[in-house]
């Protein structure tokens, strides 16, 4: 099982790397997130490849893809779908919205009103949508890859804590180095490399890989370590709202995925430490005084990592 998952991660990373140049670490984090069945929030300035990353993952996995361009005038029914009365059959028929897809790109998600943003809450957490009292199950696998611009605030609506908590990770791509930007220019000289990007697996095989990642062993010592880290975010003096149990579960699942992609059938404390910032930082709400002092959620998580003792002992799967 493990060599298969490791090979899957390597092939997917190399395939997406043909399009997203020079961002191997960010690609790996995105793969860990989707393998852990989580949704990703990609937050960065325009033009660095947020949308292309989402499209590359969907095409590589052979999944159905839909894009929702969020705008202030959108309604919840524009996302979930609507029931329309058919005069011939004299019955209401459900016309599915773009959320009924396997990979959904929620582009500029913070430009929609809170009412429209709320249409994603049920879909992201329960993998279903309810329209006119009827529940519709979403396809499997189901992933939401959302983007937002952290610089421009005019005409935007900040994501509420309930929405942020449903994202497994918050990623940032950043600007490429000059040498990497030269490679980007060369790769798009005649056409975009996304046009020729091959599919490396099927949606069914990807779902099987997600299920297999959950078989990775997590020792009691590592579980206690995860819970201790998350509990410390709730007791930290400069944090108004700490990470939720969903954050603990997210750290647990992503640590399993990292162990699998590294060829192990057990989780190490280093897996947890490596992922704590991207999984937990966006779930923290700091006190106003802390924000004025320039304290960041990432710095808080790093300080907690330095303070909580790393568990010792054998954490491998028992023979």
pLDDT tens digits for range 9-40: 999 999 999 999 989 999 999 999 999 999 99
pLDDT at 1: 42
- Under the banding of pLDDT at 50, 70 and 90, the label for residue 2 is very low
* CB distance 5 to 32 below 8 Å: no
Least confident of 84-98, 162-176, 181-195, 222-236: 84-98
Residue 127 falls inside a structural domain: no
Q: Which helix (H) or strand (E) holds 20?
A: none
| Domain contains 314 | no
Same domain, 42 and 146: yes
My answer on whether 63 and 150 are in the same domain is: yes
pLDDT for residue 154: 72
Q: Count other C-beta atoms under 10 Å from residue 134's C-beta.
A: 10
Q: Are residues 145 and 23 in the same domain?
A: yes
pLDDT at position 39 is 95
Residue-number span of the structural domain to which 61 is assigned: 2-72+103-109+140-212
> Per-residue DSSP letters for 131-153?
ETTEEEEPPSS-EEEEEE-SS--
The answer to whether 147 touches 30, Cβ cutoff 8 Å, is no
pLDDT digits (tens, 9 = 90+) for 134-151: 899 999 999 999 998 877
Element (H, E) at 272: helix 269-280
- 279: which residues sit within 8 A by CB, 6+ positions away? 168, 169, 247, 250, 251, 254
Residue 100: its pLDDT value, please?
93
> What's the pLDDT score for residue 91?
82
CATH code for the domain in which residue 288 is found:
1.10.8.80
Check the CA dihedral 208-170-160-72 and report its sign: negative
Residues 238-261 have a mean pLDDT of 95
Q: What is the mean pLDDT of residues 56-84?
A: 91
pTM for the model stands at 0.90
The pLDDT assigned to 277 comes to 96
In the numeric block, which tokens belong to residue 291? 């924000």
- Find the Cα–Cα–Cα–Cα dihedral 57, 59, 61, 64, rounded to 10°: 110
């Amino acid at each position: 099982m493990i060599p298969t998952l490791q090979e899957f991660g390597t092939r997917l990373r190399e395939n997406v790397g043909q399009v997203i140049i020079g961002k191997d670490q960010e690609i790996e984090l995105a793969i860990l997130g989707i393998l852990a069945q989580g949704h990703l929030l990609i937050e960065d300035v325009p033009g660095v490849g947020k949308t292309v990353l989402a499209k590359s993952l969907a095409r590589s996995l052979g999944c159905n893809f839909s894009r929702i361009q969020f705008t202030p005038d959108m309604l919840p029914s524009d996302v979930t779908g609507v029931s329309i009365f058919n005069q011939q059959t004299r019955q209401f028929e459900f016309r599915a919205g773009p959320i009924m897809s396997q990979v959904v790109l929620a582009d500029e998600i913070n430009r929609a009103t809170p009412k429209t943003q709320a249409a994603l809450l049920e879909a992201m957490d329960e993998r279903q949508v309810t329209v006119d009292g009827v529940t519709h199950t979403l396809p499997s696998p189901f992933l939401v890859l959302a983007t937002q611009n952290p610089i421009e605030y005019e005409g935007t609506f900040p994501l509420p804590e309930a929405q942020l908590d449903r994202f497994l990770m918050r990623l940032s791509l950043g600007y490429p180095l000059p040498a990497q930007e030269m490679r980007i220019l060369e790769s798009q000289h005649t056409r975009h490399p996304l046009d020729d990007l091959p599919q490396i697996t099927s949606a069914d095989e990807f779902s099987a890989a997600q299920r297999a990642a959950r078989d990775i062993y997590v020792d009691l010592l590592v579980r206690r370590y995860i819970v201790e880290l998350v509990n410390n975010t709730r007791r930290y003096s400069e944090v108004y709202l700490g990470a939720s149990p969903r954050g603990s579960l997210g750290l647990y699942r992503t640590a399993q995925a990292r162990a699998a992609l590294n060829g192990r059938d057990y989780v190490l404390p280093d897996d947890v430490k490596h992922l704590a910032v991207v999984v937990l930082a966006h779930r923290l709400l700091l006190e106003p005084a802390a924000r004025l002092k320039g304290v960041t959620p990432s710095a808080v998580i790093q300080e907690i990592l330095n303070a909580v003792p790393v568990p010792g002992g054998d954490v491998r799967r028992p023979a």
